[in-house]
Chains A and B, each alone.
Chain A
Amino acid sequence: MPQPHRKNLLTSVQMAHFVANGAFRMDAVVPDEMNQQAIDVLKAGIPGVPYGTPLSEAFVGSEFVQRLVQLPEVAGAIHSLVGPDPTVDHHAVHIRKAHEGEAQNLHGDAIIDVREDAFDVQLMYYPQEVTLEMGGTLSVPGSHLRRTNESDTGRYQNLLGQTRLTCPAGTVVFLHHGIWHGGRKNDSAIDRYMFKIRFNPTVRQVRLWNTDDLYDAEVARELDQTFPWYENATGRLEKYNRIKLWQALTGDDTFDPEYWVTRVSNRPQRVVAQRSLNPHAAKKEMA
């Protein structure tokens, strides 16, 4: 895989958006000419890939997928999120049939994954325009740091501020591995297609994006956002965990504009009380 041009890497503000939301969306980034081919390609199926195959080798049998992951903006986002030479965990074509009656439970993929300084991303490609009726993927912004296992969240039907994806054809969404999501019921007369690839990083995910704007005020604003479904108290813990993740990704453990981490980590070691005020020291002297 060629190194993406710097202009196609994500900015720090965009990375901070991903760290807060657990998602980054690129509308209509795939050209129409590819979208028009996509349904036939996906219907025919994409050959399977053994877990952990380098991306550069994974799709030698699928020229379409090679073109998809080498689109400059897509390649730039992959590099920014998981770095050079990621491996392919797995891929899948998801089809929600017309008038399909069942919605998926809200879930996180794979199993509970509590890595604090690394993450996988899932690329989701939507070749068609997706309307609300077509049951575009439901996802919950800011849910990716919750420590829950797979479909144990299935009891939650709706959360305030959830995203019920509608998008133009050719949209690509990158999701953090932990995001709560599910395929919605398709109430339309159109089969809905989505192609997903999960990437594993092979390098430490430190400053892999375009860091020119690393200390832009908008970075702090992105990281400090809240979401309507957060409970008042737990919403503050979300910010704490988000800052810890940003510190890991930037290698800067002093970045904490709202003091969420600093305040509760402050345990000074300098002792200024005089020795004569220490009752234990005094006893020793008397003995």
Chain B
Amino acid sequence: MTATAPAETAQQTVRQQVLVLYLASSALDARVVGWSRYDGTGETHPTTGDSDVPPYATGLDALKDGWRLFQAAQLLPPAHGHEYDVSFLKHEFFFEKLASVTA
């Protein structure tokens, strides 16, 4: 067997791209009511108030487009005496894609 030396190429590595979707209920196929994006490749710079149009209509649509779910908000009962309080958005789902970049 003969070993072949690899050609001199730039090193390929992966970076995480993160999509956070806020949904209208705890169901993953509920409609998107809020969204944030963070790009570990540094190629895009999403920020506050940069779009009025959600990237997907539902959480399920993000899965269909190749986003991998890695965290979903827990369902927690309200604290006694605070049942009518409103605060943070409850139905938060974190997705990722891994993108190849040249190091």
The reply to whether B90 and A156 contact each other, CB–CB distance below 8 Å, is: no
Q: A229-B34, A231-B90 are in contact. Are A158 and B25 (CB under 8 A)?
A: no
How many interface residues does B have (CB within 8 Å)? 28
Kindly list chain A residues whose C-beta atoms are within 8 Å of the C-beta of B34. 156, 158-160, 229
A158-B54, A160-B32 given as contacts; is B87 within 8 A of A147 (CB)? yes
Whether, in the assembled complex, A162 has its beta carbon less than 8 Å from a beta carbon of chain B, the answer is: yes
Contacts of B23 in A (CB 8 A): 231
A155–B36 contact, CB under 8 A?
Answer: yes
B82: nearest chain-A partner, CB-CB: A147
Smallest distance from the beta carbon of B13 to chain A beta carbons, Å?
26
* Closest Cβ–Cβ distance, residue B80 to chain A (whole Å): 15
Residues of A within 8 A of B90 (CB): 231, 233-234
**Distance of A153 Cα from B51 Cα, bound (Å):** 17
A230 close to B (CB within 8 Å): yes
Q: Which residues of B contact A182 (CB under 8 A)?
A: 48-49
Question: Residues of A contacting B24 with CB < 8 Å?
Answer: 230-232
Q: Does B88 count as interface, using CB distance less than 8 angstroms?
A: yes
Task: List chain A residues, Cβ under 8 A from B2.
Answer: none
Point out the residues of chain A lying under 8 angstroms from B50, CB to CB.
Answer: 103, 157-158, 184-185
CB-defined A-B contacts under 8 Å, sample of 17: A104-B48, A147-B85, A148-B88, A155-B36, A157-B36, A157-B37, A157-B48, A158-B36, A158-B48, A158-B49, A158-B52, A182-B49, A184-B49, A185-B49, A185-B50, A229-B33, A233-B25
